[in-house]
Structure 1
Amino acid sequence: MDTGAIDPLTLRAAARYRRKSLGQLKRLVFTSVGLVWSAGRRLFVGLIVLQLAAAGLLVAQVLAVRSVLQAILALNEHADTSRVVVPIIVLAILTGLSSICSSFQTQLQRLLGEHVARAMWNRVLGVSTTVSLRHFESSEFFNQLSRVQMSALSRPYQVTQGLLSMAGALVASVALGAALFTLAPVLLPLVAIGGVPVLLASRRESRLEFDFSVKQTPALRLRSYFGLLQLGRDEAKEVRSLGLGPWLTGRFNDLYAAYLTDLGDHVRRRTSLSVLGQLGAAVVLGATLTVMIWLISRGSLDIAGAGAALVAIRMLTTQVQLVFRGAQSVFESGLFLDDLDDFLALGAQALEEDRGAEAPDGFQTIRVGGVTFSYPESPRPALCGVDLELNAGEIVALVGENGSGKTTLAKIIAGLYEPTAGSIRWDDHDLSEFSPSSVRERVTVVFQDFVRFALTGTENIAAGRIGMPIDPERVRFAARSAGAERALDGLPNGFDTILSRMFSGGHDLSGGQWQRVALARSFYRDAPLVILDEPTASLDPRAEHDLFTTLRAALRGRTALFISHRFATVRGADRIYVMHEGKVVEQGTHAELIREEGRYAELYRLQSTVRVGMADS
């Protein structure tokens, strides 16, 4: 799926095409019921039983009303109050049971809704953590993800709830219809017709709701972003130092004002449709009651029967509208679930893309040959015909100015991106022969913008290989190798201290200490290839020198690709590749590159001059 090719107009057109298909509706119903059944089958069965019980209680109340009215009329003739007591007690009991049943339904619906929400979150999170990294370069992917989070996650339950409501209302309608038929058969088709205007209005409302959601998604994402900028811990210092608060709030309010304007128009359109539907239903109801009065005037319906018929009509009208509202819920949710299905299909695609043999546990040589890569929606390639070689046990440096393609190349070597052209070979095998997940298992990457988990020090390090039980000794050894052991031991609870002030009892680390924890995470993973993307960015010059001089010992024979824009840091690398504008322009040892008097030598001397100047000042 090419996420960059989707736009809201295309999505709306596809939705309109799909909603015409009865097969699509059947699939929607079976899929949603299956999901709800697997998420909470006991709760689901309980709700069905309660729906049936509620329908039976409605019919019983109609009959009880008739009995009460008959007893009251009989009271006028015989003055015997005992004949009224029992029907009234029965009606009261039935009314109480109906209320109790409704209360149980509400609570079971809440429980079942949470079970379904958890199941849907698991599916959505499974997709978002397994799809190719290229999707995260597409704005439409984030639009789709946002729609899924805001609307589609709750829709499978709403479909099932709509179906339950329809089923219960249908059962009640049949029972009430049978009761009304025994009282006045001619009234029954009039009550049924009363639901048609509601159905027609509801269908149009559903289409409006989906179109509104699709149209508003980009603006809602942008508004949420401006909100997060004012709430985030990492952004707080810069927001205050630059005085951005009023400006950010202004942008947030402008976006919200535009949304409220559009929402007002949308609500007015939906309300107008709803009013038209209800007015149509009211007209039909008025006609039904007029016919009932005509029947009474002719003597075809007695007073007790008329009273019971009036209650039956009111109840039946409500149930018929519930049937059509349930249909609306299914129809409206179906439009959102089509969108959800498209998103979940990315997970199936990711599983399909992950096929292949298991990557070997090690390698003698990794060869990058003619690799070219372009980001989605980017006008020019990030890499152009790159060649590079990594031999087992080597420390290879990749240097260049910012934007030269170093990190992109690292992601491709790590199996996070597939090259647009060219190949990566592990010994005699093309990387494409192996499943991407098995390749990633054999590579560990420390990115410059590594994640600082608000977890304990132990968990931050053990995240390097979280699929196995945490080994405290191995965690400590990794921390020692990265130079993080002393900093973690100095915390109040040592390695078990939460490394964030977001939670009670937590403590934060300095940038350099965090960088060492990230390095320890990579060492704990114990992969044959280690990629270090600017691993010394937060370290002072002495710590930077110490890290690189001890790196070979810490790697213990593993291969390392060391990425840096600081040329002095990588002098001891076995081989250095110099990148510029997505190409490798030079390669060799430090001494060889200095002798060549090329780009590396020029930038090395320039950086050395800057460092000396800064030291003198």
Structure 2
Amino acid sequence: MGNDPSSTTSKSLGRLWRLVRFSLSLVWSAARAPFIWLITLQLFGAGLLAAQVLSVQWVLNGILALGTPAASIPQLVAGVAALALLTAGSAVIGSVQSFLSRYVGESVARAMWQRLLDVSTGVGLKQFESPEFFDRLERVRTSALTQPFQVTNGVIAVIGATVTGIALAVTLATFNPLLLPLLLLSGIPIIFTSRRESRLEFRFNVAQTQPQRQRAYTSLLLTGRDEAKEVRAFGLARTLRARFNALYDRYLADLKRHLRHRAGYNVTGQLVSAIVLGLTLLVLVWLISSNGLSVATAGAALVAVRSLATQVQALASGVQTIFESGLFIDDLQEFMTLAPQRSDAETTADPFDFDKVIADDIAFTYPGRTDPAVDGVSIRIGKGEVVALVGENGSGKTTLAKIMAGLYPVDSGRISWDETDARDLPPGTIRASTAVIFQDFVRYAMDGRTNIALGRADAKPDEARVFEAARASGADDFLRDLPDGYDTPLTRWFDGGHDLSGGQWQRVAIARAFYRDAPLVVLDEPSSALDPRAEYDLFSSLRKTIRGKSALVISHRFSTVRNADRIYVMDSGRIVESGSHDELMALDGVYAELFTLQAAAYLPEVRDE
């Protein structure tokens, strides 16, 4: 059973109106005054174009009258001057419009970046474990951000083409009404084929999202500063270049097929349109030959026909832009729905000064996986306690730490802060109550002072507290020795910058956690880049440094956590043992085995037993 044509038309018009309304509201809020000027100039330019057609007739009449009693040199000069002024005016308006359009486009792009960042910073960390989310994020970032203004450009083009077309149509109709319907028919084939092109373009972009991400990642490996040393050390350049070229070759092959299909539709529409335009010009010739038009009027009509044909093309192009961009806007709007109604990341809350945090039988599974990363785990962190998580790689330690810090929601079970379920706490409370430093912490390309003060980015930097946190982490000495002290950029990307060693960076990251002054400090492998003496000093002073606050420490080095109040041993996402160091050694289980293996590397008497 076929589709109802009237229903299809109604849906298309409804969709067109929805896209136009969304885009105009966005542009109106982002750059109202420049947008009003754009529309005003578009309307004014339409009037100038219609006036140019009449001035052409004026000039031609003056030229043809030369040598006859009706000749008037002043009128001819006036007509030429008017045509020149109108042409210059149109050029000036076009130039100003291009400048305004660029400014409005950047303003809209900024507004869209704000919406994208609302989503990317507002969604839970779990979303970033999903390849589908990254595909959508990349598609929005590379395509949909500019599309709202493209729709607006299409709307402006449609408005301009419509107004200009009406003015030219009225002018042309005064010459001969027969020419008008033929010209209007020439735009229909282009509008029809452009809709097909729009769908092709969107499907192509969706299909290319992940290959494009892979190509971008490979280019990063070949050009990144951090990756450069390993690329050279392992001689990876040739292999990675081959991978990059293969990905690009595949893209170009897909693009070739896509453009061939688009070109087929485009050429068909343009050819049919050109045939209709040719028929219009033949009618014009017939009217001249049959004395239906004077030579001057025919010349003006010829200009009007050509100009009106251009406006019909612009109208069709504008409609195509709206529909093509509309497919990306649908994608964009769907992406925007991922933003939570309230985001902990943007919420300021007071820290929760707890007596105990308890995880009771919690479980968590990463997106796209079936096996839980954390399965039926129960742990307790008391006020002022240092609690350790140990276990082999992949046992779930970091995932559990992220859950305790409120970065991942539990799939089942319950986390309580004192007697309150974490889900019932005011938004932002857990974030404000936790300072987290992971093993893969971010090395901010900023000065030392800012790197530490980012531990509490929502408050004005406290210089005394920055110095105190740096001393507690052991970062104070080397930061003061830098060329500009704490104000030295910790990067070689910018002038005057100075890079740090891995161990020094780790001390800065730990200082950032201490600066936050949160009731719960989560340290994921906080000493992995420190030398043994620095590691010993850090953990020996940990209780003094956190001053009665609680710490959850993850470490592969069992010797660093032996003085923890309680040690939880993880294996395959579960807690298999817990207790103090002495209790676990007496248990002679997993902990004792792993501790003995590590100790054997340093203590001959243990190795020889």
TM-score interval, smaller chain: over 0.9
1:444 equivalent to 2:444? Answer: no
1:255 equivalent to 2:266? Answer: no
1:86 equivalent to 2:86? Answer: no
Question: How do residues 343-422 of structure 1 correspond to structure 2 at under 5 angstroms?
Answer: 343-347=335-339, 349=340, 351=342, 361-422=352-413
* CA apart distance, 1:301: 1.1
1:291 equivalent to 2:283? Answer: yes
| Residues 447 and 489 in structure 2, CA contact (< 8 A), matched pair in contact too | yes
Query: The residue matched to 2:428 in structure 1 has which SS?
Result: helix
Question: How do residues 79-478 of structure 1 correspond to structure 2 at under 5 angstroms?
Answer: 80-347=72-339, 349=340, 351=342, 361-478=352-469
* 1:338-368 C-alpha deviation (Å, 9 max, x unpaired): 1011111111x35289999967621111111
Gaps in structure 1 of 5+ consecutive residues = 1-16
1:40 equivalent to 2:45? Answer: no
Letter in 1 for 2:236: L
* CA apart distance, 1:19: 11
In structure 1, the partner of 2:560 is 569
Letter in 2 for 1:50: L
Query: The residue matched to 1:577 in structure 2 has which SS?
Result: strand
| CA RMSD, Structure 1 to Structure 2 (Å) | 2.0
1:545 equivalent to 2:522? Answer: no
Query: The residue matched to 2:155 in structure 1 has which SS?
Result: helix
Letter in 1 for 2:357: I
Query: The residue matched to 2:338 in structure 1 has which SS?
Result: helix
| Residues 368 and 424 in structure 1, CA contact (< 8 A), matched pair in contact too | yes
In structure 2, the partner of 1:491 is 482
| Residues 18 and 24 in structure 1, CA contact (< 8 A), matched pair in contact too | no
* CA apart distance, 1:281: 1.0
| Residues 576 and 588 in structure 1, CA contact (< 8 A), matched pair in contact too | yes
Aligned-partner Cα distance in 1 for 2:517–2:605? 38
Change (3 A) 1:360 1:521: closer
* 1:396-423 C-alpha deviation (Å, 9 max, x unpaired): 1111111110000000111111111111
Aligned-partner Cα distance in 1 for 2:9–2:574? 46
Letter in 2 for 1:498: P
Change (3 A) 1:554 1:356: closer
Aligned-partner Cα distance in 2 for 1:22–1:87? 43
Letter in 2 for 1:177: A
Aligned-partner Cα distance in 2 for 1:73–1:613? 114
Change (3 A) 1:491 1:357: closer
Query: The residue matched to 1:253 in structure 2 has which SS?
Result: helix
Query: The residue matched to 2:66 in structure 1 has which SS?
Result: helix
Change (3 A) 1:356 1:371: farther
| Residues 478 and 523 in structure 1, CA contact (< 8 A), matched pair in contact too | yes
Letter in 1 for 2:126: R
| Residues 359 and 434 in structure 1, CA contact (< 8 A), matched pair in contact too | no
Aligned-partner Cα distance in 2 for 1:615–1:525? 41
* 1:215-266 C-alpha deviation (Å, 9 max, x unpaired): 1111111011100001111111110000000110110001101111111111
| Residues 355 and 435 in structure 1, CA contact (< 8 A), matched pair in contact too | no
| Residues 230 and 239 in structure 1, CA contact (< 8 A), matched pair in contact too | yes
| Residues 498 and 505 in structure 1, CA contact (< 8 A), matched pair in contact too | yes
In structure 2, the partner of 1:70 is 61
In structure 2, the partner of 1:557 is 548
Aligned-partner Cα distance in 2 for 1:543–1:21? 68
* CA apart distance, 1:22: 4.3
Query: The residue matched to 1:607 in structure 2 has which SS?
Result: helix
Letter in 1 for 2:230: E
* CA apart distance, 1:27: 2.5
1:504 equivalent to 2:460? Answer: no
Aligned-partner Cα distance in 2 for 1:257–1:611? 53
Query: The residue matched to 1:371 in structure 2 has which SS?
Result: strand
Name the count of aligned residue pairs. Answer: 599
In structure 2, the partner of 1:520 is 511
Query: The residue matched to 1:68 in structure 2 has which SS?
Result: helix
Letter in 2 for 1:87: G
TM-score w.r.t. length of structure 1? 0.94
| Residues 351 and 518 in structure 2, CA contact (< 8 A), matched pair in contact too | no
Aligned-partner Cα distance in 2 for 1:304–1:48? 33
In structure 2, the partner of 1:9 is none
Query: The residue matched to 1:151 in structure 2 has which SS?
Result: helix
Aligned-partner Cα distance in 1 for 2:503–2:250? 44
Aligned-partner Cα distance in 1 for 2:345–2:479? 37
Aligned-partner Cα distance in 2 for 1:118–1:613? 64
* 1:156-186 C-alpha deviation (Å, 9 max, x unpaired): 1001110011001100000000000111111
Query: The residue matched to 1:387 in structure 2 has which SS?
Result: strand
Change (3 A) 1:557 1:300: same
TM-score w.r.t. length of structure 2? 0.95
In structure 1, the partner of 2:5 is none
Query: The residue matched to 2:68 in structure 1 has which SS?
Result: helix
* 1:453-487 C-alpha deviation (Å, 9 max, x unpaired): 00010111111111111111111111111111111
Aligned-partner Cα distance in 2 for 1:183–1:277? 28
Gaps in structure 2 of 5+ consecutive residues = 1-7
Letter in 2 for 1:456: D
Query: The residue matched to 1:77 in structure 2 has which SS?
Result: coil
Percent sequence identity is: 53
